[in-house]
Structure 1
Amino acid sequence: MPEEGSTQAAAPRNVLERFLLSVTNVLQSPAIWFRETIVEPNQKPSVWYHQKFRRVPTIDECYTDDQVCITEADIQFKRDRLVDSEIVAILRSRFEDCTLYEAPDHLEKCHNLWEIYNDATTNYFIKYGDLGGYATAKSCLMKQKHRMIWERRHGPVGSGMNNQ
């Protein structure tokens, strides 16, 4: 009888268990052999904790009738948006932690974190603000295009309109 914690399987107790074990071995053995001898030796060992996606062409590089390219650009846009929102959240939490830790002198000691956080939120809003939850890469591109046209006509956003 195998001890507790042992990896040995218990011997079949009757004819039915022996038959089921033999059927299981017949079905599983080819799959196990294929994985151990072909799949695992040919896999590259992953050194990254997270999955690394390849960059695909952006929406402005896609043809208007290429739905696969547009879909890939949308997926990459959503992934980039999630990454950027996490970066802003991390910067916010760092600033909040600094504020709590440096309680009376937090205005002087955490000022650099505050500036970094403000720059990140401004850039995030410039790129993704007012797009809504169901934004696509095309709507983001159109927002950037409209902003560039506005800045060409009226100057930088937030500086007031230049009446010429």
Structure 2
Amino acid sequence: MANPLSPIEKFFDAVGKALDAPTTFVKEKLVEPNQKHYPWYHQKFRRVPTIDECYTDDAVCIYEANAQYRRDKLVDNEIVAILRDRFQSCVAYEKPDHVERCAGVLKEYEDAATNWFIKYGDLGAYHDAKSAYMKQKHRMIWERRHGPVGSGMKEKVVSE
């Protein structure tokens, strides 16, 4: 406000400054100098306990584990997408000899896609950290009983 004209405007201006001055002082002199400033695209989240470390009745821990799971899934989706784009660009650039020259990029993409499917595949549209954890547990039990997934089932040994 430049110059309040009436006594009422002067009064409200003084009251506003009196109420705003302490909070502005604390923010500018104490809070902002002690903050770490990150660009929004480099925001760092602390790692929270995973779903297997949460108690069954701890709703806050389960919520945080699910939020962490969603963030990890978004990161893994982007990694697979970037590797797919690299492979497609390599094929477009090296077209006649792409089989030999893009083999390394294809191997990286296939490994990432396989790992993504191992963790997130076949979970359905609405899944959370608990369903992914159960999938991992079932896979480990399967591999203990039958060997690695995709290698066929072990032969049953009949002892007499």
Q: Distance in 1 between matches of 2:39 and 2:137?
A: 39
Within the candidate set 58, 68, 82, 1:76 is matched to: 68
- The residue number in structure 1 matching 2:104 is 112
Within the candidate set 62, 67, 87, 2:59 is matched to: 67
Q: Distance in 1 between matches of 2:12 and 2:113?
A: 61
The question of 1:152 aligning with 2:152 is answered no
Q: How far 1:154 sits from its partner (Å)? A: 1.6
- The residue number in structure 2 matching 1:33 is 25
Q: How far 1:152 sits from its partner (Å)? A: 1.6
Q: Distance in 2 between matches of 1:139 and 1:25?
A: 55
Q: Which runs of 5+ in 1 are unaligned?
A: 1-9
AA in 1 matched with 2:133: L
The question of 1:46 aligning with 2:46 is answered no
Within the candidate set 18, 22, 26, 2:13 is matched to: 22
Q: Residue 142 of structure 1: SS of its match in structure 2?
A: helix
Within the candidate set 140, 154, 157, 1:162 is matched to: 154
Q: Distance in 2 between matches of 1:96 and 1:25?
A: 61
Q: Residue 36 of structure 1: SS of its match in structure 2?
A: helix
Pick which of 145-154 and 115-124 moved more: 145-154
Using the aligned pairs only, state the percent identity. Answer: 61
The question of 1:132 aligning with 2:95 is answered no
The question of 1:102 aligning with 2:91 is answered no
Q: Residue 104 of structure 1: SS of its match in structure 2?
A: helix
Q: Distance in 2 between matches of 1:47 and 1:115?
A: 34
Q: Residue 54 of structure 1: SS of its match in structure 2?
A: coil
Q: Does the C-alpha gap of structure 1 residues 15 and 114 become closer, same or farther in structure 2, counting only changes over 3 Å?
A: same
Give runs of aligned pairs for residues 84-99 of structure 1, distance below 5 A.
84-99=76-91
Q: Which runs of 5+ in 2 are unaligned?
A: none
Structure with a larger share of its residues in helix = 2
Q: Residue 39 of structure 1: SS of its match in structure 2?
A: helix
Aligned residues: 155
Q: Distance in 1 between matches of 2:11 and 2:155?
A: 86
Return the TM-score normalized by structure 1.
0.80
Contact kept? 2:4, 2:10, Cα under 8 Å: no
